[in-house]
Amino acid sequence: MSQQRRGLGKGLGALIPTGPVPGSEPTQDPGESAALAQVDGARFAELPVKSISPNPKQPRRQFDEEALDELAASIGIVGLLQPVVVREVGPERYELIMGERRWRASQLAALESIPAIIRETGDNDMLRDALIENLHRQQLNALEEAAAYQQLLDDFGATHEQLASRIGRSRPHISNTLRLLNLPPAVQRRVAAGVLSAGHARALLSLDSVEAQEHLALRVVAEGLSVRAVEEIIATREAEPQAAAPRRVGSRRPAEPVLRELADRLSDRYETKVSVDRGKRKGKIVVEFASIEDLERIIKVMAPDAAAFVSADES
């Protein structure tokens, strides 16, 4: 039986070898390092937060303080899953290439060091392609896999199609794995530790409240429940904590199972988060997008003829 990976994953850091860092010792034994596929022009290391400075050419100047506080709280509990990408600018000094939001939140969380990919090549596409290739080769736990997917999407501009074709996985698998990052930190810790399986985690995602997800996760561990048993508990609405507070008048109703299933199918179809709600008189479908380019991609899937109007409005 292979040894259980310790602690939480490091996202893309799990895919590249640990390299020498000035003033530090390697954090990986020779056997593990030899098992990792090389990524030319990049190495992984834990760097002091104070040794990293922001990129002066970073076009983004405003950061949502509330969102940073939320990210810092999560990092304080589970650590930083997605390493930042930096370049060396001097002895034990580094400059951010990607990940300033994560770096800022890590400072708020009072972390002394964070995982980082130290890049020595100027070719983003080469580094991205090498990491995608290594993702196919490495044995990652579900959260490591999700963090690697998310970072490839966010920092390197990879698409769901690229990931699916390069690593031999389906697009729904990638979408479902990414949803694991929406679980509360306490549940994520159990998934990372191997106490909860990815199947358990995906089942818990169908619950609407954090309290219900954490409560049922505890039951899974305590009672050794199977994934099928968890799905039956959720279907029979027995997942809520017994001491849960009564629903306030006017609060949002939990999504019906058929609507949750429809939202999941639409999320897989459009490769983004989709919510489906039904009110007393009418319902609504909300499709999220990250940028104009992302909106164009979604519209091309929904209605190819309409995508041209979005491009025309932007030009």
Q: Which of 88, 100, 133, 296 is catalytic?
A: 100
Residue 271 annotated to the active site: no
Dihedral sign, CA of 27, 7, 77, 260? Answer: positive
Q: What is the 3-state secondary structure (H, E, C) of 217-276?
A: HHHHHHHCCCHHHHHHHHHCCCCCCCCCCCCCCCCCCCCCHHHHHHHHHHHHHHCCCEEE
Q: Indicate the pairing of strand 52-53 with strand 93-98.
A: parallel
Nearest to 31 by CA among 45, 15, 17, 14: 17
Beta strand extents in the chain (DSSP E only):
42-48, 52-53, 84-90, 93-98, 113-119, 274-278, 283-287
Q: Indicate the pairing of strand 84-90 with strand 42-48.
A: unpaired
- Tokens standing for residue 9: 């994953």
Q: Is 195 helix (H, G, I), strand (E, B) or coil?
A: coil
Q: Tokens 């199947």 belong to which residue?
A: 199
AA identity, residue 259? L
Q: Which residues are catalytic?
A: 100
